A and B are shown apart, each in its own frame.
Chain A
């Protein structure tokens, strides 16, 4: 080793300083060239998109492509919805539309858009994740009121998925804090869905403890002490419960729970608790990107059409609760419509306040794990 290094040093000295520098800068240039090329490449495609956008205003091109960045459990819903929207858009504008779908954890998806994943529309699990895009300057303020029902075309709620026959006799929230009951739910710090779970449990505790915060915190603490696996996302928790057979009860989105039942009708059943939370997934046009790509019109229609009767029925078929009350009532066989639902704005003062109080660092969720 030592000898080799010496040789290297000799070689170093021998090289004429100027020549060495020239070579060095040359290689740096060579290395940088493809980068520069990449840069200009990117801007050309940007320009192309711009011209495309401009021509869309004059005379529409034959086809258009939009990207919908969504969260995990909407996969099946949007697969079906994109088909009916394609037909609708063709009739309306004569254009063929291609929709690129992207699914993942809601927070992760929001971050990917923030970091450069070019989404024309986002359909995420939490209003807060969309708000993060607003903070990042990609979505214009006031998006919550851009579409009906606070931009939530479909809603869901949190229910219990238990093993067939309900061996632990789980009926309501107070049954799952009992010692010996193993609960599976994702981590509210990493999963949008899990925040709804937490808040639904909190709502139950508040109702039963007469809004005593200390008692509710104790209740939540007992609940999370029963959690044996805290997955990072909702799909992960479902896998842990369904495939790896962990735990007695899974706190699940209603639509996810129905999907599990559909797949394994003999293994599971759904238990609806006495009180739960109205989970309102949010949709929004990513203004900056849609503007840049000239897809504003189709993006807006894409989300607007989610409120059409046809799309609302489709949401119901995919076990989401339609936000149109008439269509929701058609699904009274599927959903327990008498379930008492609290909601984030009226009962928790909006997401910002709820996050501050429950999920921020060293807030209530962190406290319940402290010894």
Chain B
């Protein structure tokens, strides 16, 4: 009797809230919070006028635009392409499926500089792929298109790996039921499959976008790094550091943090609105 009671009361098989919370807080502070706070410590030495001068510098503003647009374009491509990729890996059986599945993580495993150099070699107008495009007058490497390609490369695993588990759990019977109730292919996808994968898709999109904003290693080789044209924000930060201008570098880093935060906030907001709407529809 006595031994049954607490077990029923606690609802948890594995106890230890205090312990796990303690570990969580310690790890988070050591690895995430304190380094992030150090940004504000450095910024405390930068006056508001200098802060504004650094973040409103026309070169930096041009770089925000390039970084945002390229990351956005890459995340959108990844959202579409990643969904299709996750779909074929989950839904079809074909030779080499497992290899394909394993390849998805490669962009995570590969050092970004290696990826950048390889992509540049391929997409430069003397490279295998770049040569084909150069023939029709399209330059890929050293243009914003090149930047976007590098960002697609590093962002694809986020989308695929977010959607995959959801698709795996999604019972094929729903689609069968939808078909039997007279829904066409497109309608089945739009009304049955898509609402299920949407939260995961949004998460994957958000992660790929946020990663794209901050990516340096792979982009730096394929971007031409020309100010106002192909210079990304992380490079602007690096060039401030090279000039030992820690204040200005940190100011621009702050802008990036705000961008990333707003993105993640917006995605959560959209998600909750959509969930709300979905619930409203059910009622």
Asked whether A361 and B12 contact (CB < 8 A) given A27-B22, A244-B126, the answer is no
Alpha-carbon separation in the docked complex, A26 to B243 (Å): 44
Does B214 belong to the interface (CB within 8 Å)? no
Does A370 belong to the interface (CB within 8 Å)? yes
Alpha-carbon separation in the docked complex, A360 to B10 (Å): 63
Question: Which residue of the partner chain, among B117, B124, B225, contacts A232 with CB atoms under 8 Å?
Answer: B225
**Residue of chain A at shortest CB distance from B57:** A361
B22 engages A24 (CB within 8 Å):
yes
A23 engages B142 (CB within 8 Å):
no
Question: Which residue of the partner chain, among A24, A30, A232, contacts B25 with CB atoms under 8 Å?
Answer: A24
Asked whether A361 and B22 contact (CB < 8 A) given A187-B225, A230-B224, A369-B59, the answer is no
B238 engages A24 (CB within 8 Å):
no
Question: Which residue of the partner chain, among A22, A230, A359, A371, contacts B243 with CB atoms under 8 Å?
Answer: A359
What B residues does A25 contact at CB under 8 A?
Answer: 22
Does B26 belong to the interface (CB within 8 Å)? yes
Does B94 belong to the interface (CB within 8 Å)? no
What A residues does B12 contact at CB under 8 A?
Answer: 7, 11
Interface string of A16-31 (1 = CB under 8 A from B): 0001101111111011
Does B115 belong to the interface (CB within 8 Å)? no
| CB < 8 Å A-B pair total | 112
B124 engages A27 (CB within 8 Å):
no
A237 to chain B, nearest CB (A): 10
For chain A residues 1-38, which have a beta carbon within 8 Å of chain B? 7-8, 10-12, 14-15, 19-20, 22-28, 30-32, 35
Interface string of A229-247 (1 = CB under 8 A from B): 1111000100100011110
State the majority secondary structure of interface residues on B.
Answer: helix
Does B127 belong to the interface (CB within 8 Å)? yes
Does B21 belong to the interface (CB within 8 Å)? yes
B124 engages A361 (CB within 8 Å):
no
A368 to chain B, nearest CB (A): 9
For chain B residues 135-155, which have a beta carbon within 8 Å of chain A? 141-142
What B residues does A231 contact at CB under 8 A?
Answer: 225
Alpha-carbon separation in the docked complex, A141 to B71 (Å): 46
Asked whether A244 and B239 contact (CB < 8 A) given A23-B22, A24-B18, A27-B22, the answer is no
Does A189 belong to the interface (CB within 8 Å)? yes
Interface string of B111-143 (1 = CB under 8 A from A): 000000100110011110000000000000110
A108 engages B126 (CB within 8 Å):
no
What A residues does B224 contact at CB under 8 A?
Answer: 228-230
Alpha-carbon separation in the docked complex, A229 to B225 (Å): 6
What A residues does B59 contact at CB under 8 A?
Answer: 366, 369
Number of residues on chain B facing chain A (CB within 8 A): 43
Beyond A111-B244, A230-B226, A361-B248, 10 additional contacts (C-beta under 8 Å) are A11-B17, A27-B22, A28-B26, A105-B242, A111-B241, A187-B225, A228-B226, A360-B243, A361-B57, A362-B57
A31 engages B30 (CB within 8 Å):
yes
Does A227 belong to the interface (CB within 8 Å)? yes
B130 to chain A, nearest CB (A): 9
A341 to chain B, nearest CB (A): 26
Most chain A Cβ neighbours within 10 Å, of B22, B30, B127, B240: B22
A213 to chain B, nearest CB (A): 21
Alpha-carbon separation in the docked complex, A246 to B224 (Å): 11
Asked whether A27 and B19 contact (CB < 8 A) given A189-B239, A236-B221, the answer is yes
B142 engages A26 (CB within 8 Å):
no
Q: Which 7 A-B pairs have the closest CB atoms?
A: A27-B22, A23-B18, A31-B26, A245-B126, A244-B124, A107-B242, A369-B227
**Residue of chain A at shortest CB distance from B53:** A361
B10 engages A14 (CB within 8 Å):
yes
A190 engages B11 (CB within 8 Å):
no
